[in-house]
Amino acid sequence: MPDDSATISVKRMETFRGKHMRFAVRSALVAGLLMTVALPSAFAEDKAEDAVKYRVALMDVVGGHTQSFFALLQGKVSHPEDLAWHADSLAEASKRVKGAFTQNTAGSGVKTESKDAIWAAGSEFTKLAGDFETAAAALSAAVKSKDQAAIGAAAKGIGASCKGCHDKFKED
């Protein structure tokens, strides 16, 4: 067998480069993570555009779980095993609503369906967000009880909670 050292050294180079690249990528990822962890502070003002995107994404999560929950409840789809997951996830997501709307983006020029009244003095928004948390927790508990009447009543409560806040604080 001829000792093809040129081939071997090219192979070694490739292995080295491969490892090196992987290391470089990993370091960049880690640095990125550290930066993301280090930057935000609890009271930072985010870019208005990002603040709006974040709360809209949260409301989309809320909307997704609600839509799926009702489709299951009304028997339109047959995945009964998912009912509790949607109710529990909605209860979890509801706890984030208050916090996602703390930054006043009125006058920022960013397109939003949030009415400025959310941030007006004495606004009822925080109270309605709290009522929503209570309603979502009740729904999750009702599903666990497996009591159909209780589930129906709690589902109505959820519908009323969405509508109550949207009527007052969301543009159509």
Given candidates 87, 91, 129, 138, which one binds ligand HEC under the rule CB under 6 A? 129
CB of 11 to ligand HEC, least distance (A): 52
Binding mask of the shown chain, residues 9 to 48, with x at each position contacting ligand HEC by CB under 6 A: ----------------------------------------
Residue 146 structure tokens: 């497996």
Site track for ligand HEC across 66-95, x = CB under 6 A: x-----------------------------
Among 59, 91, 151, 155, contact with ligand HEC (rule: CB under 6 A): 59
31 Cβ contact list (under 8 Å, min separation 6): none
CA angle 166, 162, 102 (to 5 degrees): 65
Number of residues that bind ligand HEC (CB under 6 A): 23
Alpha helices in the chain (DSSP H): 5-38, 48-73, 83-100, 125-145, 148-169
Q: Angle CA(20)–CA(25)–CA(27) in degrees, nearest 5?
A: 95
Distance CA(131)–CA(157), nearest Å, equals 10
From candidates 53, 95, 96, 166, binder to ligand HEC by CB under 6 A: 166
Residues 107-126 that bind ligand HEC (CB under 6 A): 112-114, 125
Rounded to a whole number of angstroms, the minimum distance from the CB of residue 49 to ligand HEC is 11
Asked if residue 97 binds ligand HEC (CB under 6 A), the reply is yes
Cα–Cα dist 72/77, whole Å: 5
